[in-house]
Amino acid sequence: MNHFVFFSFLILLVLSGIFTTHASEPDWENRLFIKKECIKCNLNKHDLRKAQLNNVMLSESLLNQAELQEANLQGADLSGASLRGANLEGANLRGVNLRGADLEGAYLNGADLTMAELEVANLRSSDLRAV
């Protein structure tokens, strides 16, 4: 990812009050992304609980072990993204593009995957109870 684009995105997050450096204090609830695109971003282990990420483009991004419980990802593009061990319990994944995504070991208990595109997605060892 172009460093200029990444830092521009990060500045937008900081200025909007979305970005927080304290993992124990999530500040994503009821907030919206200003910029709806972050291709190939590294969001590994980020706390994105209850984040409003609907229709955001996160293709080929790294979201390994990210906390995405109850996040709204409706219509998002996560094609080719890596979500290994991510916690997506109760997340809204309606119509999300997960084509070619790696969800190995992800927690999807109670997630809404209605109309989600899962072609060639890796769901090995994922928790799919109550999906």
Q: Looking at the domain assignment, is residue 62 inside a domain?
A: yes
What was the pLDDT predicted at 14? 43
Question: Does residue 21 lie within any of the structural domains?
Answer: no
Question: Does residue 79 lie within any of the structural domains?
Answer: yes
- Cα-Cα-Cα-Cα torsion 9, 118, 110, 37, nearest 10 degrees, comes to 10
Instruction: Flag whether 18 is in a domain.
Output: no
Q: Torsion angle of alpha carbons 22, 27, 29, 32, nearest 10°?
A: -120
Q: Residue 72 sits in which domain range?
A: 33-131
**What pLDDT sits at residue 23?**
41
Is 8 within the bounds of a domain? no
User: Whole-prediction pTM value?
Assistant: 0.74
Residue 129: per-residue pLDDT: 80
Residue 107 lies in a domain: yes
Mention every residue, 6+ apart, whose C-beta is less than 8 A from residue 9: 35, 37, 38, 41
Q: Does any domain span residue 41?
A: yes
Task: Using only the alpha carbons of the chain, give its radius of gyration.
Answer: 14
Number of domains composing the chain: 1
The pLDDT tens digits for 13-70 are 544 444 443 344 445 454 544 457 888 999 999 999 999 999 999 999 999 999 999 9
Cα 58 to Cα 81: distance, rounded to the nearest angstrom: 7
What pLDDT is attached to residue 19? 46
* Segment 89-121, tens digit of pLDDT: 999 999 999 999 999 999 999 999 999 999 999
Q: State the CATH number of the domain containing residue 77.
A: 2.160.20.80
